[in-house]
Structure 1
Amino acid sequence: MELLLPLNLPPYAFKISDESGQLMLFDIIRKKNIVITPEEWVRQHFVQYLINQKKYPKTLIKLEGGHKLNGMAKRSDIVIYNPAGEKILLVECKAPSVTIDQKTFDQIAHYNIVHKVKTLAVTNGLQHYYCNIDFDKGAYNFIEELPAYK
């Protein structure tokens, strides 16, 4: 079962409950219980990683923010803002069973047409990829480590 699998992220003490046979996890960003799916398990771990290891303030993190792309409603997994309200990091989360491939990068690149964020992250909880976007040159370069909050 893919739910609650150990990930390539530090373990966290989540508040998990069983509501009518459905495993729920308390989301500290949205401040409510949410159904644990494999992708949500990755998202919640990555949020904790951002807060605890990379020191991003939880008040600057937005989960599943809606946006329109080519007239279609889409949702970004994690968007991080700076105190001025500018987007500084866009994260796409996938279930651990999903291979991170070109299609995954194409998805976040398409979302970034709307967001115009300089740093992107893609994770399935087991593998994590980070890159910086150079909008002037229309290029990107992969980086080893996600920058800590400044």
Structure 2
Amino acid sequence: MQPLKLPEFDYQIENNKILCLIRKKWITLIPEEWVRQHFINLLITHLAYPKGLFKLEQTMSYFKNQKRSDIVVLDRDGKVFLLVECKAPSIRLDQKVLGQVSAYNKVLDARYLAITNGMNHFIWEKMEEGFNQIREFPNFN
């Protein structure tokens, strides 16, 4: 897998599977999963997000379709704090990707929305008048 613009960490890979930092089980190592595991590491190790508040591939209904979010982090009250859509490094982060995370957020109502392909990362914070793009990912505290 290619190097990402995310902090390195001590991951475990065997038989084309990576050990998930949250689920503690082996997941097929595809480029999107490579990005997800690196991003999870960033949140936990560098921004103090508690492992127990993560939900991965949470199923939701959107216009009668079943969709799955990549990373959801709850706050201590059980509300969605951060919603992250991960893409493979080869996928461009464009309006379509932003539309996807925005559609998921109509169901989840997150305080922060993010998209990443491991090379580029964008985050928005919910304000009274909508979402504003911010420069840095918030610490959990």
TM-score range, shorter chain: over 0.9
Partners of 2:21 and 2:40 within 8 A in 1: no
Q: Does 1:44 align with 2:37?
A: yes
Residue of structure 2 aligned with 1:93, choices 83, 86, 92: 86
Partners of 2:21 and 2:41 within 8 A in 1: no
Q: Does 1:77 align with 2:74?
A: no
Q: Does 1:143 align with 2:140?
A: no
Quote the residue 1:111 is aligned against. 104
Paired with 2:131 and 2:26, the residues of 1 have a C-alpha distance of 37
Residue of structure 2 aligned with 1:61, choices 54, 61, 83: 54
1:41 is aligned with what amino acid? W
Paired with 1:11 and 1:129, the residues of 2 have a C-alpha distance of 19
1:146 is aligned with what amino acid? F
Aligned-residue identity in percent: 43
Q: When the two structures are superposed, what TM-score results if normalisation uses the length of structure 1?
A: 0.91
Q: Secondary structure at the match of 2:47?
A: coil
Aligned residues: 141
Larger Rg: 1
Q: When the two structures are superposed, what TM-score results if normalisation uses the length of structure 2?
A: 0.97
Quote the residue 2:22 is aligned against. 29
Q: Deviation per CA, 1:96-128, whole angstroms, max 9, x where unpaired?
A: 000001111010000000001120110000000
Partners of 2:54 and 2:71 within 8 A in 1: yes
Paired with 1:146 and 1:10, the residues of 2 have a C-alpha distance of 14
State the 1:133 CA deviation: 2.0
